[in-house]
Structure formats: C-alpha cells, structure tokens
Amino acid sequence: MFSDFPLLSALIWLPIFGGAVLLWLGEERGDAARVTALVVSLITFVISLPLFTGFERGTAAMQFVELRPWIETFSVNYHLGVDGISMPLILLTTFITVLVVIAGWDAIKTRVSQYFAAFLIMEGLMNGVFAALDAMLFYVFWEAMLIPMFIIIGVWGGPRRVYATVKFFLYTFFGSVFMLVSLIYLYMQTGSYEILDFHGQSLGMQPQIWIFLAFLFAFAVKVPMWPVHTWLPDAHVEAPTGGSVILAAIMLKMGGYGFLRFSLPITPDASRELDWLIIAASLVAVVYIGLVALVQQDMKKLIAYSSIAHMGFVTLGFFIAFAVYARTGALDGAALGLQGGMVQMVSHGLISGALFLCVGVLYDRMHSRRIDDYGGVANTMPKFAAFMVLFALANAGLPGTSGFVGEFLVILGSFQANPWFAFLAATTLVLGAAYTLWLVKRVLYGEVANEGVAALEDLNRREFLLLGVLAVFVLLLGVWPAPLLEVMGPTLDHLLQQISISKLVP
C-alpha cells in the first residue's frame, strides 16, 4: 500500500513544513500554533508506523529506499533508507516529539509558535540524520540540527542559558568538523558520498586510524563520552523540559548511531586496534560519572550525569564486541554487546525522556530543580510519585523494565571479553540504584518539606497521559523486547560480518 509513497521524505519534510507554517502563524495565535504543532506531530507519528509494520524482517538490506541525484558535481545523492538500526530510532523520534509537544502545551507562554516550530523542524532534521544514506546528506542534517537546538536552549532556557547553549553548539560543531574532513577524504578515495560505498572501501591502517579518531571525536562529543561530556550537564540543566527530553532521548542516540553506521563498518581494523580506548572511556563513564551523579544537588543535573553513565553502556556494548571476538573468535558473544547497546539506546531514550518530564512536572509547579526544596512529594502527588518511582527503578535497571534488558546483555557480553570489564560495568547496578533511589527518597518520601510541597497538585490528565504512555512502553520493552531484537537482528548480524573482515589493503 505504501510501496511507492516516499515515506521517509514525508517524515523529514512534513514536520519542517509544519514548522514553517507555525512561523508564518506568528506569535499572536498561540493556541492555533499549539494545535497545529500537535496535529503535525501526530500525523508524522502515524505515518512513521508503517515503517515498523511494513518493515521486512530477516534482511539487512536498506528498505524504503529513495534515491535522487542532489548535487551532481560532487556526486551527492538524496539517498534515504532505513535498516534495523535506524528504523527503531526514527520511531523513537516521532514518538518522543509528540510527547514533547504535549509537554510544552501549558509550560511555554512566550513565543509559542517559534517554540513549537523549532521542535518540529528539529524532528524533521533528526529523522533525516537517521534516514540519510549519503554521507553529505547525513552531515547536512547532523549540523543543521544544531540550529534549532541552539535557539531552544537559548530562548526558553534557564538563567545560564546563553553560556550553556553556546558551549553546546561550539562543542558539537567542533566535534563534527573533523568528521567532515574524514568524509571528504573518503569521498576522494571512493568517488562517491554513499555511506554503503564507504563500507566497502578498503583502507590502509594509517588512514583508518585517523578516520576513526575523527569519527570518534564527532560521536564521542554527541554521545557524550567521558571526558568530552561536560557540555551535557550544562545544556540539560538550562534547557526547557522539552529540550532536555529531545537531547537525552534522541540527540545522544545519534552518537551511538554514528558509531554503528560509520566507525565500525568503515574502519573495522582501527576499531579493533583502538577498542581498549573506547572500553576504558566507557568504563570510566559508568563508574566515575555514576559517582558524580551521586552527589548532585540539582535533579536535572543528576539525570544528566546518569545519562552519561548509561550512554557509557552503549559505547561499551558496541566496542566490547571486538574484544569478545578477539578472545573467543565467535560472533555470538560479540552480538550480545551490539544488541545490548541498541536496546539500551532505545530504552534510555524512553526512560531519560520520562525522567526529564517528571522533573518538568515538578518544575512547572515549584520553579525549582533543587533536591533540597522538595521532600514528601508522594503525600501530595501520589499518582506522580508512582510514575516517578517506576521510571527511577527502570533507570536503575530493575528486571521487568526496559532498562534491565540492555544492561544485562552488555554485561553478559563483557563477561566473555574479560570478567573484570563485567565487574566494573556491573557496578552501575549498585551506583545507578544508589543515585536514583536516593533521589526518589529525598524528593518523594519523608515529611512534607515545606508549604510549597504541601500545596502541590497531582498530575492533570495531560501529564498523566504523557507519563502513562511512556510507562507502558518501558514495561513492554522490559518484558517483551523480542519485536525490537527481531527487527535489529539481521542488520546487526550483517554489521558483525563487516567488522570481522579486515579492510586493510593486502
């Protein structure tokens, strides 16, 4: 039914045009802007569903492909397509955007249409990042995305928003330009900007190492990996709730996606050579950043640090695959790491998004993010407390929630590489539990701390809907991750094949 319909193009351009319409509506018509934004994001979500239903399982080939020449002189094509890695992330994007639009419904009072326009345009650009199969097209979406995020943090953010947003922009911009030079170098080698052609290009060790490092810099900043993570706590704390949700749920995933799409298949030998670097940085992120999260006084900052620690799991999973393969020579164990990393990405997208929404719910009422200002919230907001406890436990990796699946797979994979890796990685189960449960204890339980808390009203229907939907998915993915694994399976197997074959020029 949808065979000829340019589904991916629609997912990219519909929200962007929606955003343009919002800008045209202007600031006087705030309600019209809200409704338009909701309608556009809902339509985008609905038309993204056929990606899942119509997705052909059992193949690693690109699907829903669109190919048109774009800049003929540089042989750049408008080439879109999805496989098992990118499809779930696109669904995550369209889904989270709907939630973000709903979350901003009452909270945003100034320059309403620009706010929603920025989010819609960003949705289109993010879909573009995941769908692009041409490296230049990918880069255009990747960089263009910074513009709306820059505006979102800077205009609707907190008191130190200017510092945070400039830091965010320059950090990520600086990371990506090296990737740009690498892409151009690869273009010189292959004569095309097709990512799939890059995959097949054999490269010497020296160029591979340089390209790997350039990619690493770009993606490590985005993930963000220790030690280039420092922009994230600032950006998260200052961003409005919607901005934090998009940042945590989707933008961080682009770093992980980049590793799978670029680093691993284009420079497999360099990845194998330098896997210790990533594994070490990831373990530092898991342990050290976990400890840092423990001492935070600001709820958003705590969740931001927890995000870094969890994303450490993602990169650990991706690169532990090399260590496992080198040690056992079998791809089965290596597959665990990749699968775990992917599941962790999707699951973290839902959980961190939900936690930021929870903080947003409190912030809208109390205008404070300091943990000290709360206490005993469960007494006045029982429904909210139930949700927050659920998401906190999911964040800590409780079995039965989606947070458990990814972490368990990665730890299982790490064990095959080196039991010490698994031991260090598993400390997250302790640390994660410590900082999230302590957060819950201090905010939700105990005596009602002050008059502000005593006057709190519980969730309204809109907020209940938001958190409820997320809760359903967190639990569903926790007890029944099979659909997700099934979709990703062939693509990840294909990726494993790619990384197990040396690309060195003989």
Partner 1 sequence: MEFQAPVLAPAAAEITLLTLTCVVLLVDAFLSQARRDVTYLLTLLTIVSTAFVVAFMTGEGAQVTFSGHFVNDPMARVLKLVVLATTGMVFLYSRDYLARENIYRGEFFVLALFATLGMMVMISAHSLLSVYLGLELLSLSLYALVAFNRDSGNAAEAAMKYFVLGAIASGCLLYGMSLLYGAAGTLDLAELSARIADGATLSDLWVLVGLAFLLVGIAFKFGAVPFHMWLPDVYQGTPTPVTLFVGSAPKVAAFAMAIRLLVDGLGSIGEAWQSMLIVLAVASMAVGNIVAIAQTNIKRMLAYSTISHVGFILMGILSGSEDGYRAAMYYTIAYVIMATAAFGMVILLSRRGFEAENLDDFKGLNRRSPWFAGMMLIVMFSMAGVPPFLGFYAKIAVIAAAVDANLTWLAILAVVLSVIGAFYYLRVVKLMYFDDPADEPALEGSSVVKLALSFNGLLILALGLFPNGLIAVCQHVFG
- Listed ranges 57-65, 165-173, 220-228, 351-359: which one lies at the site for partner 1 (CB under 8 A): 165-173
Q: At what angle do helices 331-366 and 402-417 cross, to 10 degrees?
A: 140
Please report whether residue 187 would count as binding partner 1 according to CB under 8 A. Answer: yes
- Listed ranges 71-79, 273-281, 402-410, 438-446: which one lies at the site for partner 1 (CB under 8 A): 71-79
Return the residues of window 103-162 that contact partner 1 according to CB under 8 A.
Answer: 111, 114, 136, 139-141, 143-144, 146-147, 150-151, 154-155, 161-162
Please report whether residue 68 would count as binding partner 1 according to CB under 8 A. Answer: no
Separation in Å, CA 261 to CA 85, 146, 497: 8, 20, 14
Of residues 4, 28, 31, 72, which one binds partner 1 by CB under 8 A? Answer: 72
Please report whether residue 173 would count as binding partner 1 according to CB under 8 A. Answer: yes
Please report whether residue 204 would count as binding partner 1 according to CB under 8 A. Answer: no
Shortest distance, position 348 Cβ to partner 1, whole Å: 28
Shortest distance, position 270 Cβ to partner 1, whole Å: 17
Q: What is the dihedral of CA 126, 130, 135, 136, to 10 degrees?
A: -20
Q: Residue 269 — φ and ψ, nearest 5°?
A: -70, -40
Cβ closest to partner 1, residue 140 vs residue 412: 140
For residue 297, how far is the Cα from the chain centroid? 24
Q: Across the strands, what pairs with 134?
A: 194
Cβ closest to partner 1, residue 139 vs residue 384: 139
Cβ closest to partner 1, residue 45 vs residue 169: 169
Please report whether residue 209 would count as binding partner 1 according to CB under 8 A. Answer: no
Please report whether residue 70 would count as binding partner 1 according to CB under 8 A. Answer: yes
Please report whether residue 437 would count as binding partner 1 according to CB under 8 A. Answer: no
Number of residues that bind partner 1 (CB under 8 A): 38
Cβ closest to partner 1, residue 161 vs residue 272: 161
Burial code of 8-43, b = ≥16 C-beta within 10 A, e = fewer? bbbbbebbbebbebbbebeeeebeebbebbeebbeb
Q: Residue 329 — φ and ψ, nearest 5°?
A: 75, 0
Shortest distance, position 185 Cβ to partner 1, whole Å: 6
Shortest distance, position 195 Cβ to partner 1, whole Å: 17
Number of Cβ atoms within 10 Å of the Cβ of 231: 21
Sign of the C-alpha dihedral, residues 97, 41, 11, 116? negative
Burial of residue 284, with CB atoms counted within 10 A of its CB: 0-12 exposed, 13-18 middle, 19 or more buried: middle
DSSP label at residue 289: I
Please report whether residue 206 would count as binding partner 1 according to CB under 8 A. Answer: no
Shortest distance, position 438 Cβ to partner 1, whole Å: 35
Q: Can you tell me the distance from the alpha carbon of 404 to that of 422, in angstroms, rounded to the nearest whole number? A: 15
Cβ closest to partner 1, residue 146 vs residue 381: 146
Site string for partner 1, 15-44 (x = CB under 8 A): --------x--xx-----------------
- 3-class SS of residue 71: strand
Please report whether residue 178 would count as binding partner 1 according to CB under 8 A. Answer: yes
DSSP label at residue 158: -
Of residues 180, 291, 437, 449, which one binds partner 1 by CB under 8 A? Answer: 180
Q: At what angle do helices 482-500 and 86-107 cross, to 10 degrees?
A: 130
Are 133 and 81 a contacting pair, CB within 8 Å?
A: yes
Shortest distance, position 278 Cβ to partner 1, whole Å: 22
Shortest distance, position 69 Cβ to partner 1, whole Å: 8
Cβ closest to partner 1, residue 116 vs residue 169: 169
| Cis, peptide link before residue 227, omega less than 30° from 0 | yes
Q: What is the dihedral of CA 259, 265, 268, 272, to 10 degrees?
A: 40
Please report whether residue 174 would count as binding partner 1 according to CB under 8 A. Answer: yes
The residues that touch partner 1, with contacts defined as CB under 8 A, are: 23, 26-27, 70-74, 111, 114, 136, 139-141, 143-144, 146-147, 150-151, 154-155, 161-162, 165-166, 169-170, 173-174, 177-178, 180-181, 184-185, 187-188
